[in-house]
A = this chain, B = another copy of it.
Amino acid sequence: MQAQEPESRQLVGLQFLYGSGEAAAVSLGTYRSLETHALAMAADRPEFSVIVTPEATLDAPSYVPCGDKPLAVVFDVDETVTLNTGLGYNQFTGGNSSLAAEHPVRAAPGAVEAIRRLEQAGITAIYNTNRTVDMAELVAGFLVSIGLDRPVMGENYFLNGMDELGGNKDGRRWTIAEDWCVVAMAGDQLGDFAQILNTVEPVPARRAAAMTGPYAGNWGNGWFLLPNTAYGRALEGDVGDIFPEMVEAAN
Contacts and interface: CB of A to CB of B under 8 A. Distances in A.
Tell me what chain A mostly uses at the interface: helix, strand, loop, or mixed: helix
Given A33-B220, A227-B227, A190 B21 contact: yes
Interface stretch (A23-31, A119-127, A166-174): A23-31
A207 interface: yes
Contacts of A29: 30, 33, 219-221, 223-225
Interface in A11-61: 11-16, 18-26, 28-33, 36
Interface string A81-101: 000011011001100000000
Contact of A1 (B6, B225, B236, B251): B251
A236 B20 CA distance: 8
B243 A85 contact: yes
A233 interface: yes
Given A207-B21, A227-B227, A245-B104, A235 B3 contact: no
A142 to B, nearest CB: 15
B86 A28 contact: no
Nearest to A18: B242
Nearest to A188: B22
Interface string A191-212: 0000001001001101111110
A128 interface: no
A246 B3 CA distance: 11
A154 interface: no
Contacts of A30: 26, 29-30, 33, 220
A229 interface: yes
A36 B204 CA distance: 29
Given A28-B216, A85-B243, 20 more contacts: A1-B250, A10-B12, A16-B227, A16-B229, A19-B203, A19-B241, A20-B206, A20-B235, A21-B207, A21-B211, A22-B188, A22-B227, A24-B211, A25-B225, A26-B219, A29-B33, A30-B33, A36-B36, A88-B242, A229-B229
